[in-house]
Amino acid sequence: MAAFICGTGSCLPAYRMTNEEWTQYVETSDAWIRERTGIESRHIVREETCVSMAVQAAKSALEQADMEAGEIDLLVVSTISAEHILPCAACEVQQQIGAANAVCFDLNAACSGFLMAYHTALSGIETGMYKTALIIGSECMSHLMNWKDRGTCILFGDGAGAVILKNSSRPFYLPAGHSDGSKKDALLLRSRHSGEIDNFTDPQYYMQMDGQAVFKFAVRQVPEVIREVLKKNGLKQEDIRFFILHQANRRITEAVARHLKEPLDKFPMNVDHCGNTSSASIPILLDEMNRKGELHRGDKIVLAGFGAGLTWSAAVLEW
Ligand code: ACO
């Protein structure tokens, strides 16, 4: 029993921060950020929280799917930035939307988290364990960034995206996924609960990144995992309508398109107005495209995520 996406939703914080505003915090410029990343602005939480954005995205996905929250069997939130460690964000979302029948848990695979949550839900539906699943990526990346480190802070944004999966008779496509813990230092964020006294002012308790290493990793592994997932499912690149990648930055997406020798218009992007929202980026983009009517029944779409761990993964789905 395979699954299909029957509803999408998203939530971006009301406050939109332009590149120009970053010049108040670090030595940078709109031109540098645009040229190196394709980012023009990002949304940053003020009133919103990881859970409140997840709730709004979930409600809008339920409305689109014309479903009641009580029909959800599995609720997974992919996040690295929830306000509470306990309880998990998924249980908080459950309570606020009234998904009383759902099994709830959070999942952390950084920017690949939405893909990993999608695979988890898919396998649960495939085995008959669940009939429906609500998967949410929600991130307050602005809480994790060092606002004095110009190499990282300008990249990220906040937001949430949600999809609802339902069992169906559509074809089941095997996913592909990989991890390499030996490269853990490329993207590092220490827990602020590790016991040191001064941990809120110490830069090592914010996101640390080897930007060039991440860039090279993404450009090498993403085309490979896309080819792998297509081969596993007996599909060719020309069968695919869209390649929806984690929105890290425009140059990575362009390089992946070049490696695959595919036109850039098969690689939708929203990094220009969202920045990098980690595990929320793919479901936010899916929702934007869905609501603009850009996705059509029968379209085959590849999703690909990559990030800290290192982790990278791809999935094929039929709209
Ligand atoms: N504004 C102005 N100058 C800057 C800024 C900034 N915001 N940040 C760095 N610089 C400077 C550097 O200090 C350096 O100056 P120097 O030559 O005087 O030493 C110069 O710009 C070049 O720095 P590089 O780090 O070499 O710049 P690079 O071309 O590699 O671009 C970037 C940096 C954009 C981070 C790039 O490495 C990249 O895109 N990496 C991918 C990382 C990524 O997307 N991470 C997302 C999180 S992980 C994920 O989602 C998978």
Ligand 1 atom closest to residue 278's alpha carbon, by position in its atom list: 50
Pocket test for ligand 1, best of 26, 36, 81, 246 (most atoms within 8 A of CB): 36
Task: Choose, from 88, 111, 140, 153, the residue flagged as catalytic.
Answer: 111
- Would you give per-residue pLDDT tens digits along the chain (319 residues)? 678 999 999 999 999 999 999 999 999 999 999 999 999 999 999 999 999 999 999 999 999 999 999 999 999 999 999 999 999 999 999 999 999 999 999 999 999 999 999 999 999 999 999 999 999 999 999 998 988 899 999 999 999 999 999 998 888 899 999 999 999 989 888 877 665 555 566 777 788 888 899 999 999 999 999 999 999 999 999 999 999 999 999 999 999 999 999 999 999 999 999 999 999 999 999 999 999 999 999 999 999 999 999 999 999 999 9
Q: Is the CB of 36 under 6 A from ligand 1?
A: yes
Pocket test for ligand 1, best of 81, 212, 222, 311 (most atoms within 8 A of CB): 212
Q: Is the CB of 147 under 6 A from ligand 1?
A: no
CB of 287 closer than 8 Å to CB of 138: no
Q: CB under 8 Å to 145, separation ≥6 — which residues?
A: 152, 153, 156, 206, 207
Q: Does 111 participate in catalysis according to the annotation? A: yes
Q: What sign results for the dihedral spanned by CA atoms 277, 278, 280, 284? A: positive
Report the pLDDT value the prediction gives residue 193, as an integer from 0 to 100: 67
Ligand 1 center–CA 92 separation, angstroms: 36
Ligand 1 center–CA 287 separation, angstroms: 29
Question: Can you name the residues that pair with 91 across neighbouring β-strands?
Answer: none
Task: Choose, from 88, 246, 270, 290, the residue flagged as catalytic.
Answer: 246
Q: Does 276 participate in catalysis according to the annotation? A: yes
Ligand 1 atom closest to residue 207's alpha carbon, by position in its atom list: 47
Report the pLDDT value the prediction gives residue 1, as an integer from 0 to 100: 60
Q: Of 301, 238, 297, 290, which Cα lies nearest the Cα of 267?
A: 301
Q: Is the CB of 34 under 6 A from ligand 1?
A: no
Strand ranges across the sheet with 2-11: 2-11, 158-168, 132-140, 74-78, 103-107
**Whole-angstrom Cα distance, residue 112 to residue 244?**
13
Ligand 1: which residue has its CA nearest to atom 8? 151
Longest dimension (CA), the chain: 55
Ligand 1 atom closest to residue 36's alpha carbon, by position in its atom list: 34
**Whole-angstrom Cα distance, residue 173 to residue 123?**
10
Ligand 1 center–CA 310 separation, angstroms: 19
Q: Of 6, 120, 129, 117, which Cα lies nearest the Cα of 73?
A: 129
CB of 10 closer than 8 Å to CB of 52: no
Report the pLDDT value the prediction gives residue 201, as an integer from 0 to 100: 67
Ligand 1 atom closest to residue 246's alpha carbon, by position in its atom list: 50
Ligand 1: which residue has its CA nearest to atom 31? 36
Report the pLDDT value the prediction gives residue 139, as an integer from 0 to 100: 97
Q: Is the CB of 183 under 6 A from ligand 1?
A: no
Ligand 1: which residue has its CA nearest to atom 21? 151
**Whole-angstrom Cα distance, residue 162 to residue 100?**
18
247: how many CB neighbours lie within 10 A of its CB?
27
Ligand 1 center–CA 28 separation, angstroms: 11
Ligand 1 center–CA 211 separation, angstroms: 6
Report the pLDDT value the prediction gives residue 199, as an integer from 0 to 100: 53
φ/ψ of residue 162, rounded to 5: -140, 145
Which stretches of the chain are assigned E, i.e. beta strand? Answer: 2-11, 16-18, 41-43, 74-78, 103-107, 132-140, 158-168, 176-179, 187-188, 208-209, 242-245, 300-307, 311-318
C-alpha torsion 95→97→101→106, nearest 10: -70
